[in-house]
Amino acid sequence: MKTLRVSLPAGAPGYPIRIGQGIMDAELRVLAEPWARELVVVVTNETLDRLFPSHIPEALKGLPARIESCVIPDGERYKTLETLSRIYDRMMALGANRQTLLIAFGGGVVGDVAGFAAGTFMRGIRMLQVPTTLVAQVDSSIGGKTAVNHPLAKNAIGVFKQPEGVVIDLRFLETLPQRELRAGLFELIKHGIIADRELFAFLEKQVHRLVRPDWANDGAFWEEALTRSVAVKCRIVESDETESGPRAALNFGHTLGHLIETLTHYESYLHGEAVGVGMLFAAYLSRAWGHLPESDFGRLRALLEPLVAPVRLPALDEAAFTELLLHDKKSAQRSVRYVLLRGLGEVFIRERTEPGEIWPVFRQFVREHATICQVQAA
């Protein structure tokens, strides 16, 4: 087992992150013990409740608190104010108060909505995160961002809420659908690309273990890969808790990724899949503009290309591309901050990048990588 610690500024206590295979029972118990006095509410979804029934109550057996659950429906479309409201209803019905401990047990959707509930119920109660998808383990459970969606915009309503601790157990990845695992790999690899060249090299050498893990034998590799990837996220979050500066590096691959998600109405591709194509394009752009050496581009491409899920986009002209990149048509700002690479492990932000500069490179990318990113003819 590995332990990382997130330190927060201004006297706020930091919190531990435990990473390992089969560690949940023992570690959750240790982290919950100081807070599990009267009531613990486990927020989870229907899928996890079916796969791992009473897993958490078993782990916490013997602690003085009563353990109750709050099960929400499965899916991004339930990441809403309505679901949040149902969580408050359940907490009220259970007699929750400021001493109640909340445990978020699930993927990024559960983590985001349960985190929001913990950040706002009675002005904030203590919370532990037990992430069960790869996306949640390397990304959403760390950093304290929580949110629900507004019908007009994803993640539009939220608060910053840090947990008391995070338990990352590889064992949960064993039941994760292959497509979800694959999509999560891009966020894991992203941390190597933006800030840790050695992590990139480590992953590049053992890519077969990423794609089709043999859980009985690959535990040590995954523990190391997750720990290093999570360490990057922790470092960036620590340097910029509320997202004013360096945290923007985490958006590597996300500019085109968001465009792909919006253009396909969030229905065709998982977030990680869209970001995978976006990462390849951001590297392509970095090379085209003379920032990224050919050799580093070649390595990045060799690692990502076999993992990428090809996307097919509806017809797209420069005007539509521009509006999508700028998100908000009314926005006075006619440029974006593009996250680019100088090398593996070294990002920078190119301020005031205009869609008109990106468009010809995007067209070239689509021509050269038709198997990865196809755009329908108008």
Ligand X SMILES: NC(=O)c1ccc[n+]([C@@H]2O[C@H](COP(=O)([O-])OP(=O)(O)OC[C@H]3O[C@@H](n4cnc5c(N)ncnc54)[C@H](O)[C@@H]3O)[C@@H](O)[C@H]2O)c1
Q: Which residues bind ligand X (CB under 6 A)?
A: 45, 47-48, 51, 74, 76, 79, 106-110, 112, 132-133, 135-136, 139-140, 143, 145, 155, 172, 175-176, 180
Specify the residue, 97 or 155, whose C-beta has the smaller distance to ligand X: 155
Specify the residue, 126 or 182, whose C-beta has the smaller distance to ligand X: 182
Specify the residue, 35 or 172, whose C-beta has the smaller distance to ligand X: 172
CB of 132 to ligand X, least distance (A): 4
Distance separating alpha carbons of residues 96 and 41, to the nearest angstrom: 8
CB of 152 to ligand X, least distance (A): 15
Output the CA–CA distances (angstroms, integers) from residue 130 to 150, 156, 232, 246, 274, in the order listed.
Answer: 25, 24, 19, 26, 25
Dihedral in degrees, nearest 10, Cα atoms 290, 293, 298, 299: -130
CB of 102 to ligand X, least distance (A): 16
Distance separating alpha carbons of residues 356 and 171, to the nearest angstrom: 46
Residue type, 313: L
Helix spans in the chain (H)? 24-32, 46-51, 55-59, 81-93, 108-120, 134-135, 178-195, 197-205, 207-211, 219-239, 254-263, 271-288, 294-304, 318-325, 355-368
CB of 120 to ligand X, least distance (A): 15
Tokens of 123: 């002005």
CB of 296 to ligand X, least distance (A): 26
**What residue number has its CB nearest to ligand X?**
108
CB of 177 to ligand X, least distance (A): 6
Specify the residue, 155 or 333, whose C-beta has the smaller distance to ligand X: 155
Specify the residue, 28 or 358, whose C-beta has the smaller distance to ligand X: 28
Distance separating alpha carbons of residues 70 and 131, to the nearest angstrom: 16
Specify the residue, 65 or 277, whose C-beta has the smaller distance to ligand X: 277
